[in-house]
Every structure is written in structure tokens, then in C-alpha cells.
Chains A and B, each alone.
Chain A
Amino acid sequence: MSSTTTSAPERDAAGEPQREGYFGRFGGQFVPESLSGALTELTDAWHTASHDPAFLAELDDLRRNYGGRPTPLYRADRLGAEAGLEVWLKREDLAHTGSHKLNNVVGQALLTKRMGKPRLIAETGAGQHGVATATAAALFGLECTVYMGAEDCRRQRLNVVRMQLLGAEVVPVESGTRTLKDAINEAMRDWVTNVETTHYLIGSAMGPHPFPTMVRELQKVISIEMRTQFAAQAGGSPDAVIACVGGGSNAIGSFADWIDEPAVRLIGVEAAGEGIGSGRSAATLSEGREAVLHGSRSIVLVDDEGQVLPAHSISAGLDYPGVGPEHAWLASTGRGEYVGATDEDALHGFRRTCELEGIIPALEPAHAVGWLLRHGREHLGEDARVILNMSGRGDKDVDEVVRVAGWDVGVERAFRTESDS
């Protein structure tokens, strides 16, 4: 193993010195030996690149001029009035490809070029990471295969087509629960097989070291921009930063630059599906236990025998029975607060963001909005100033939302005449 990358925590909850790749007791590198070489190579490449001004300049140029950064920070007054709070939205939905995912992908794709590998593979849940990876593959001339649960291919059809248009091969995964967890399994199997030519571009702050640290550092741009923008536009620091958590990349990116500022509360909103305790939830940090999944020790939905339990969420991007190890650590130390929003909360957040702000949010951040509208004020107190990371836009979700919610929208309604009703 090479030396540590930029800013992994140097202390754990007990103040003990930190092992490389660990956040307290969470993290590590639980992978088949066949991946050992690739992980060492990646750790070294990232260490070198993240200290190389030329790499950082290229990344910065791509983020600005290709990716559309910085994304705006916008004071959402009508949503704020309904929540009884001062609400600011960090508009990652306006970034190229429609979510925060490109921040990480561009960085890892540049690394892939530096490592001389011609092929990218990725897992995707909602399809946003798959689209971002397919985008970077097109941009850099890399071959690209994206694994996506068969169930998710159905509910995120638009993103399947986008990936294909961008030149990626989309492989539906029929094993297990046919969702994100199984897509990750299949991507891991591909990587074990093709490790010499392929980089597995993990899309969340999860997986074996160095991914959780590297993805955090690449997503940290969100909170760095938040800090500057909030200071200029609102003054000072917010009382809380709120983000949805599946694997946790947009959340760790939103939290990273505030972790050492204890006055800023960090609130992660997990998908509670049909409710905490219903047996149909993806609220890993509320309902899970310590276990190893997909290369690291974290909090996982597992049964007493170590079998991974199926997660459930209306959102394909949050429908994952694990969570990144740094979130497990932030939860265990109390620095991060993790709450749940149900499918129904998310639909409420989705609808009200459309109606009050003229923004169609992705279902993932709609969980954070739904929680904020229903629980924010009691949790945070009157007049709290909060930044909510609007991590993606909702075009991909409109068909599924209408199907599930049964709202009266659609082409049929447009053609309906008075006499029909």
C-alpha cells in the first residue's frame, strides 16, 4: 500500500491514530486477491494525481468548461416558507448530465487515462452514474460497459437510452434482487476478470479503499463551492447541510468541507421506503448492523447469518442495502445525523419542489426535500438556515412517479376534452 491520500480522517472516535483506508472501525479493503494489484495501482495513481498541479488544472478546466461548474446556490423562498426555514438549494441538478455524478466520474476517467487502461465499467442504480460514466467514456474515447439491475432498467428507461446514445453497452443484471446491489456484484465480477485492461469506476463513496476517500475528495467540490457561495450570498455559515444518502456520494461531497466546523449540522436523509420497521426500507444507518459489503466494513442491512437483505425504495438510486463507510463513521461519532424519508415523503417533496420552485427534482433529493418540509422545522428550530443539496434533476423519474403516485398528468390528460370528464 502506498501512503494515504489527501485528507482521510487522522483520528477515530477514540482519538486513536487512523489506519489507512479506515474511518474509525469502518472501511478497509475486503476484496478478492485478484483485485489487489489494481487497488494498489489506483491508490498510487490517485495519490500522485491529487498532488499534481497539471492533473488538478485539467480537472478544474473540465469541471468549469465541460461540466458547468460552479453550480448555483439558490435561495428557495417558496419552499422555505412552506418549511418554515431559510432554505438554499445547491443546484447540482444543473450540472452536465443532470446530477453531481460527473464530479467523480471526470476525475476517475482522467486517472484511467493516466493508468493507460482503455475500458471503463460502472454500476448504476437510477442511471445517473451510468450516464455520467458513459459521458466521460465518450469524451475520453474509452470503451464503456454499465451494469444495471433489470428492475432499474425498467424504472429508469430514459437513462438506459441516454447511455446507449453515448456509446455505452448497458447490461441488465437479472441476479439477486435485480437492483443496484446486484449491479455492483456483476461489475465486481467483470473487474476481477478484466482487471488488467479495465477500471471499475465506482460511483459512490463506497467499496474498497481507496474509493471512499477518492470519491469524497472528488465530490468535495460541492461543499467547497457551498461555503464560498453561502458566505457571499447569505453571510456566515449555514446551520445545517442536508443531503440524501444511498451509497452517500452527494452527501459526503456536501458534508466534507464542513466536517471540521461543528456548528454546522450535517443531516443525511436515507430512503425509508414504506417506513422504518416495515421490512421494506433502504434506511441502512437506522436499521442495519455492522458488516462487510462490497469491499468495506460499514453498516449493512444483513440478517443474523450475514445474508444481505433486499432494500426497498421508490428511488432506484437509494435502493441499496449498504452505505459508504465514512457515513457509518460520521453516524457512529454523532457528527452526522441520519434520518429517514419514506416513499410517500419523497413523492411529497417531489411534487412540492415542482409546484413551488419550478424545479423537477430527482427522486433521490426529493427525499431530502420531503423530510425538510415535514420534519425540518421541529428538528432544526425556527429560522434555521439550511443548504439542501439538489443532487439531480428528475426527468428520468417522471414516468415512474406518475405510475406510482397515480397523479393526473400525462399526454392523455392533454387530449382529454370537457365531454370526457
Chain B
Amino acid sequence: MSTGASSGPPRGADRIAEAFARAASEDRAALIVYLTAGYPDPETSRACLRAAVEGGADIIEVGLPFSDPIMDGPTIQAANQVVLDAGIGLVEQLTIARDALAGSEVPAVAMTYVTVADTRGYARFAQDCADAGLDGVILPDLPVLESDVWRVAAEESGLATIFLASSVSSHERLDAIAAASDGWIYAIGLLGVTGVNAVDDGPTRELVAAIRDRTGTPVAVGIGVRDRETANQVAAFADGVIVGSAVLRAVADGEASGAAERVRTLVADLRSGMARG
């Protein structure tokens, strides 16, 4: 839902909605693939982003590294640190995303932490993301209650803001998340950080149902989708499935020259598990 501008939902939200609609028309969940921009190096990173699209990702999450990523487990932490240690800054990260994804019908959103967006200035950060062709932003440590200023900036730049919802979110908070989130609502699949444990099936199903009671915005489940099996299990009850650490492990698991091929293979395999029924 838009935060009330007369121009309607941001342009990014439209592109994201179309991606979910395409998947739904094929009776399957949308596959959302996370990759850290600049990891393990700029060239391989571009190749991996393209490979994710070629492998069948419906939406891309572009991770913009932060020094203190408290929602991330060891895999994404390590990838963040590699990029920061290499001195690859935000402008270069966004350029990598733009170069890799320009012209694609697959929408892409930035995934980073509030400190990165806030320190740059919300308006400038939002415009930088939009200029790089991104369609939305996920800030996992920015709850709706703290997000008023950010949402104005995002909307002015045509970006969707995807908020996270948890099985421990109160009814009131779910109401606020459902009302504020554009593009999709990111349902957290477990209590924990990325890349460690598997989706907690029962509470996650209940969470997805609770969100659907409140809004028609698609619901995608992330954190805890480790492999084709969990992806397939989640695809049965969610509109989208988000895979991150597993993809980065494929990137890291061998020579950089083969990383794109490993990503393409994994994404294609995950995508084949999106079908329902």
C-alpha cells in the first residue's frame, strides 16, 4: 500500500507486483534470490546476478554490505566483510547491480541496514537506489514505527519499502506492517538470523495467514530457506520464497570463475521447486 501520495503506489511496487503476478499465473511461488553486491569481486558479482536471472529468479535482492549486520549469520557476514575489506563502496555496489540487471524485466530491491541509508541521507540513498534501477528497499532494522521519514523519501524516488513481519509481531504491529509495506511483506521464517536454521513451519504458516487476513499484498518467506526441499515446502503456502545464504554458499564453493554457473544451477533447481501441488 502507498503511504498516501495521490500518485498511487511507487513505480517499483508495480514492477514487483507484476513479477508476483507472472509467477501466480503459472501457479507457482515467486523465487527471490539474494546476492551480496561486489562479492566475491565486482566481475563475478555481476556474472552471478545475471546468472540468477537466467536461472529463473523472479526478483533479485541486492545486498549492500554493512559492517554490523545483526540479522545475518556467518555466511552473509563474511560476504559483507569481503566486499568492505576490498574497499568496494556503495556507489560501486550500486553500479554493479545496475550493470548486471539493466533492461531486465526482473525487479530488484536493495537489502541493507538502516545505518547505511540514514548516514547517506534517506533522500539521497533512495535516489541513488532508484538511479541504479532498483525497485525497492529492505531495511531489516527499520520497524514501521520508526519509518515515517524514510517512507517519504522512498516514495519520492518511486521505491517500494518491504517491511519484515515476525511470528512474534503483535496484532497491532502486523496491522501497521500490512498497511505500510509495498511490493511484498517479508515474513520471517524462524526466530533467528540468516543462514543457520531451517524454516519453522507451523508458526510461519500462521504468520503468512495472519498477514493475508490484513492485506492483498504478496507475502514472501525468507530466513531459513536452506535448499530445494525447504523452498518447495514454503512455496506451498507463500507467494514468494527468499533464498540468500544458500546462494552465497554456492558462490563461495569453488573457483570464482565457476561461481556464475553454480548460481545458475542452484537457482534453476530452486525455481523448479516453486510449483505448487
Contact = CB atoms under 8 A, between A and B. Distances in A.
Nearest to B71: A32
B70 A32 contact: yes
Contact of A36 (B70, B170, B197): B170
B164 A33 contact: yes
B168 A307 contact: no
B89 A305 contact: yes
A176 B89 CA distance: 17
B86 interface: no
Interface string A211-235: 0000000000000000000000000
A161 interface: no
Interface of A: 1, 28-34, 36-38, 40, 175-176, 181-182, 185, 188-189, 192-196, 289, 291-295, 297, 300, 302, 304-308
A193 B170 CA distance: 18
Contacts of B169: 33, 36-37
Interface string B171-213: 0010001000000000010011100110000000000000000
B143 to A, nearest CB: 6
Given A33-B164, A33-B173, A291 B118 contact: yes
A292 B193 contact: no
A305 B119 contact: yes
A31 B68 CA distance: 13
Given A194-B191, A305-B119, A189 B168 contact: no
A31 B84 contact: no
A292 B142 CA distance: 10
5 contacts: A33-B188, A185-B68, A294-B68, A305-B116, A308-B67
Contacts, number: 116
B68 A292 contact: no
Contact of B141 (A1, A30, A37, A306): A30
A292 B70 contact: no
A182 B119 CA distance: 20
A300 B115 CA distance: 10
A384 B29 CA distance: 72
Interface in B76-121: 77, 81, 84, 89-90, 113-120
A186 to B, nearest CB: 9
A116 to B, nearest CB: 15
A305 B193 contact: no
Contacts of A300: 115
Q: Which 4 A-B pairs have the closest CB atoms?
A: A306-B119, A37-B168, A193-B192, A306-B116
B115 A192 contact: no
Contacts of A305: 89-90, 116, 119-120
B5 interface: no
Nearest to B70: A188
Given A189-B193, A306-B119, A306-B120, A31 B168 contact: no
B191 A291 contact: no
A181 B192 contact: no
A188 B113 CA distance: 14
Given A176-B68, A308-B67, A32 B115 contact: no
A36 B173 contact: yes
Interface in B39-97: 66-71, 73, 77, 81, 84, 89-90
Interface centre among A28, A30, A176, A295 (most CB of B within 10 A): A30
Contacts of B255: none
B119 A181 contact: no
Given A29-B145, A32-B166, 13 more contacts: A30-B143, A33-B164, A37-B166, A185-B68, A185-B69, A189-B73, A196-B168, A292-B115, A293-B68, A293-B115, A306-B115, A307-B66, A307-B84
